[in-house]
């Protein structure tokens, strides 16, 4: 009985102990079990806890342990490296030590490495440790790229894009996304979203695309995040958002180390934040066209040492920064087209000696070109068109080496400096609509390379310099609707002239003189336009102009007999309306290339010749309001006239129109009821009403 009791008691105790042990094992974390203590190795020598350390881009301190048995130790880099900020301690006694290494911030695009040597002084034993540093981009991967794009897709209403992305498909199939293998994985390097119907806010996550080199986005985007400055590998940034989208630029954008091209389009950039652009260290091209850029540009643009192209066309800047002249080394293109509020170029514009292209067209309140402007000797072209307020050119403008100079629409420009004649390379000169220009300098005769001059609508221009005749290479002289009343004989000296336009102003007498005296010596002339003037005399001089293709002398006082045989062989267009020419149309078939022949409102007589049927090229023949007699020859039916291409009304024609003519295909499209049938009083055709 006692034995049984003892057995039961032992069994209960055993059960309790077992239950406790098993319940404890269920919750015990084996990681908390300490490692067994291993006796230190006291063998003489040098041991490091590791041989490689990677430190983050910020350079935060990392360390390693070492044990030196048998003597003291020291540590030093194999090569002095500027980005190694500090390492401590640099030496120590026998025993254990912890060495900490601190690096400077890694602003570079690549990871970097430095090797340190640890030396035991007594024995000469050495070991090495490699210290590396990540870039800011090292923590970003293909996965972070895809996540950033998904957020962008959602933020910009991707489901309604013209080419929406399918998240279930790989990024390689997403439109506008370019991938490139970097460090063994595909990364997003280009993002082109210029025709996607975007709408929404550009998310901060776009700054996580750390391998991006090119970004172009257009659409209804209402927010531009500052996280863009994290894209240190970005080389081209082209954004054209909704009108008025604002981006208040960060003060410091220097983290965009690679940005060479910045095209913010219509972004509204407050002028007080504009100086942030000056911190872009690699910028070569800056193009801003928003009307919302208003005011004086801040100083500091000289910091953009690499800038080659600066385009501010369409902005409302008041002036250029004074230090713009410090960009002389690299700046070759300056576009100020349409800067309607720009009143001054500043005193230092002339320092940009490497400038090849300068566009100032549409600078409506710009009053003058400052002295020193002539130092821009690398310019090949200068466009000052529609600078409506421009009153004065710099006296040193003759130093320029431009081949083309456009002053079109400079309404207040009254005179041209004498140094203008020193523009030795000038080939084209445009003064169109310079309404206040009164004369040209005599020195213009020195511009022997000039081939084209346009003086159209220079209404105050009343005389031409006699030296104009020295321009032996001048091929094109365009000066309609000027204030000229005569043309000096010097015009006839322009032996190379191919096109001359001296069309007069309607309602005035225009230019007077004998046509032969002015035009007969221009033997290479291809196009002559002298309508609405008071030129007199006959047309016998036309036989000298064998190259003439277009003749416009309508609205003058020309008289004498019309002799079509004197017309040149290549004439295609002849306009002699509203003169006092006499004669008939005999010999008209010799004009084998004429398409348009306007002889209305003259004193022509005689009958229409049958040879008209041979004029296969003639499309328009205007003979109305003359004294032509007879009826219409049947050969008219063979002509290829255009709609309304024959006008005979207002003559002295009579008789019966041939039935073949009346039934011909050409007759109906001539609108005979108005263009042919009405004749002078007492005349008319017998078989039509």
Q: Nearest Cα to 646, choosing from 613, 669, 625?
A: 669
* Residue appearing with tokens 């035991």: 120
Percentage of the chain exceeding pLDDT 70? 94
Q: Where are the beta strands (DSSP E) in 38-160?
A: 45-48, 52-55, 62-69, 73-77, 84-88, 91-92, 95-103, 112-120, 126-133
β pairing state of 126-133 and 112-120: antiparallel
For 629-681, the pLDDT digits (tens) are 999 999 999 999 999 999 999 999 999 999 999 999 999 999 999 999 999 99
Residues linked to residue 117 through DSSP beta bridges, in sequence order: 76, 128
Residue 28 — very low, low, confident or very high, per pLDDT cuts 50/70/90?
Answer: very low
* Residue appearing with tokens 């953009």: 304
Structure tokens at 72: 């003291």
For 54-64, the pLDDT digits (tens) are 888 888 889 99
28 or 165, greater pLDDT: 165
Fold of 45-133: Immunoglobulin-like (2.60.40)
β pairing state of 62-69 and 45-48: antiparallel
- Does residue 31 register a pLDDT over 70? no
What's the start-to-end Cα distance of the chain, in Å? 158
Q: Nearest Cα to 610, choosing from 630, 582, 581?
A: 630
Cα–Cα distance between 604 and 584 in angstroms, integer?
6
User: Can you say how many angstroms the Cα of residue 161 is from the centroid of all Cα atoms in its chain?
Assistant: 28
For 317-337, the pLDDT digits (tens) are 999 999 999 999 999 999 999
∠ Cα 585 586 590 (to 5°):
100
Size (the chain), residues: 689
Strand order in the sheet with 84-88: 45-48, 62-69, 95-103, 84-88
Give pLDDT, residue 163.
Answer: 86
Q: Could you give the residue range(s) of every CATH 3.80.10.10 domain in the chain?
A: 386-470
Q: Could you give the residue range(s) of every CATH 2.60.40.10 domain in the chain?
A: 45-133
Q: Where are the beta strands (DSSP E) in 483-554?
A: 499-501, 512-514, 527-529, 534-537, 550-552
Give pLDDT, residue 17.
Answer: 35
- Does residue 483 register a pLDDT over 50? yes
For 86-96, the pLDDT digits (tens) are 999 999 999 99
Give pLDDT, residue 111.
Answer: 83
Region of 130 please: left (phi>0), alpha (psi -120 to 50) or beta: beta
Structure tokens at 336: 């100020």
CB-count burial class (<10 Å; 0-12, 13-18, 19+) for 588: buried
Model's pTM, two decimal places? 0.74
Structure tokens at 194: 């210029």
Instruction: Kindly state the helix (H) or strand (E) to which residue 515 belongs, with its residue range.
Output: helix 515-519
Structure tokens at 119: 């030396």
Please report how many Cα atoms fall inside a 13 Å half-sphere around the Cα of residue 279, on the Cβ side.
13
Region of 409 please: left (phi>0), alpha (psi -120 to 50) or beta: left
Cα–Cα distance between 288 and 336 in angstroms, integer?
10
Q: Cα-Cα-Cα-Cα dihedral of 136, 137, 143, 149, to 10°?
A: 90
The helix/strand/coil state of 233 is coil
Give pLDDT, residue 40.
Answer: 54
Cα–Cα distance between 363 and 346 in angstroms, integer?
14
* Residue appearing with tokens 């402007």: 373
Q: Nearest Cα to 343, choosing from 319, 362, 359, 312?
A: 319
* Residue appearing with tokens 């007879």: 630
Cα–Cα distance between 410 and 385 in angstroms, integer?
6
Whether CATH 3.80.10.10 fits 386-470: yes
Give pLDDT, residue 149.
Answer: 95
- Does residue 32 register a pLDDT over 60? no
Contact 281, 257 (CB under 8 A): yes
């Amino acid at each position: 009985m006692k034995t049984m009791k003892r057995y039961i008691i032992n069994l209960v105790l055993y059960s309790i102990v077992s239950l406790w042990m098993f319940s404890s094992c269920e919750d015990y974390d084996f990681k908390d079990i300490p490692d067994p203590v291993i006796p230190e190795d006291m063998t003489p020598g040098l041991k490091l806890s590791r041989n490689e350390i990677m430190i983050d881009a910020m350079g935060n301190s990392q360390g390693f342990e070492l044990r030196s048995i048998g003597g003291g130790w020291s540590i030093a880099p194999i090569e002095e490296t500027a980005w190694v900020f500090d390492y401590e301690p640099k030496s120590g006694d026998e025993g254990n030590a912890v060495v900490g290494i601190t690096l400077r911030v890694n602003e570079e695009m690549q990871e970097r490495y430095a090797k340190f040597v640890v030396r035991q002084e007594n024995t000469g034993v050495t070991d090495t440790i490699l210290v590396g540093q990540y870039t800011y981009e090292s923590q970003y991967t293909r996965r972070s790229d895809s996540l950033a794009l998904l957020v962008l897709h959602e933020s910009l209403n991707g489901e309604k894009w013209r080419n929406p992305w399918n998240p279930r498909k790989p990024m390689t199939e997403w439109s506008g996304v370019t991938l490139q293998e970097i460090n063994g994985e595909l990364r997003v390097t280009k993002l082109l979203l210029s025709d996607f119907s975007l709408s929404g806010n550009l998310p901060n996550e776009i700054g996580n695309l750390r391998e991006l080199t090119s970004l172009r986005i257009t659409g209804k985007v209402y927010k531009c995040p500052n996280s863009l400055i994290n894209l240190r590998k970005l080389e081209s940034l082209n954004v054209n958002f909704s009108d008025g989208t604002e981006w208040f630029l960060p003060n410091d954008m220097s983290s965009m180390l690679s940005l060479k091209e910045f095209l913010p389009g219509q972004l509204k950039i407050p002028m007080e934040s504009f100086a942030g652009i000056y911190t872009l260290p690699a910028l070569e091209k800056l193009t801003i066209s928003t009307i919302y850029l208003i005011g004086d540009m801040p100083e500091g643009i000289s910091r953009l040492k690499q800038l080659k192209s600066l385009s501010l066309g369409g902005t409302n800047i008041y002036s250029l920064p004074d230090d713009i002249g410090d960009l002389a080394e690299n700046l070759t293109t300056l576009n100020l087209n349409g800067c309607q509020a720009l009143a001054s170029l500043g005193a230092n514009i002339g320092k940009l000696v490497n400038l090849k292209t300068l566009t100032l067209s549409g600078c409506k309140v710009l009053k003058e070109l400052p002295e020193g402007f002539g130092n821009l000797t690398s310019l090949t072209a200068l466009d000052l068109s529609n600078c409506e307020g421009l009153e004065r050119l710099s006296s040193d403008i003759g130093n320029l080496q431009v081949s083309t100079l456009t002053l079109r629409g400079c309404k207040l420009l009254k005179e041209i400096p004498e140094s203008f004649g020193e523009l030795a390379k000038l080939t084209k000169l445009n003064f169109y609509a310079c309404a206040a220009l009164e004369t040209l300098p005599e020195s213009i005769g020195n511009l022997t390379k000039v081939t084209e001059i346009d003086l159209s609508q220079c209404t105050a221009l009343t005389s031409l310099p006699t030296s104009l005749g020295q321009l032996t290479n001048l091929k094109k002289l365009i000066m309609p609707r000027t204030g000229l009343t005569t043309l000096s004989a010097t015009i006839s000296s322009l032996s190379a002239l191919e096109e001359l336009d001296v069309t007069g102003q309607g309602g005035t007498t225009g230019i007077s003189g004998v046509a032969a005296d002015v035009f007969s010596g221009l033997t290479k002339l291809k196009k002559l336009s002298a309508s609405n003037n008071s030129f007199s005399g006959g047309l016998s001089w036309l036989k000298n102009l064998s190259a003439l293709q277009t003749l416009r002398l309508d609205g003058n006082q020309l008289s004498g007999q019309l002799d079509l045989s004197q017309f040149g062989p290549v004439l295609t267009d002849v306009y002699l309306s509203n003169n006092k020419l006499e004669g008939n149309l005999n010999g008209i078939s010799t004009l084998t290339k004429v398409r348009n022949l306007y002889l209305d409102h003259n004193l022509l007589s005689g009958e229409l010749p049958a040879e008209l049927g041979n004029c296969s090229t003639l499309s328009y023949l205007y003979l109305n309001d003359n004294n032509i007699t007879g009826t219409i020859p049947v050969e008219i039916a063979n002509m290829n006239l255009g709609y309304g291409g024959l006008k005979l009304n207002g003559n002295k024609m009579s008789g019966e129109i041939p039935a073949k003519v009346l039934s011909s295909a050409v007759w109906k499209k001539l609108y005979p009821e108005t263009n042919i049938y009405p004749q002078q009083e007492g005349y008319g055709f017998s078989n039509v009403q």
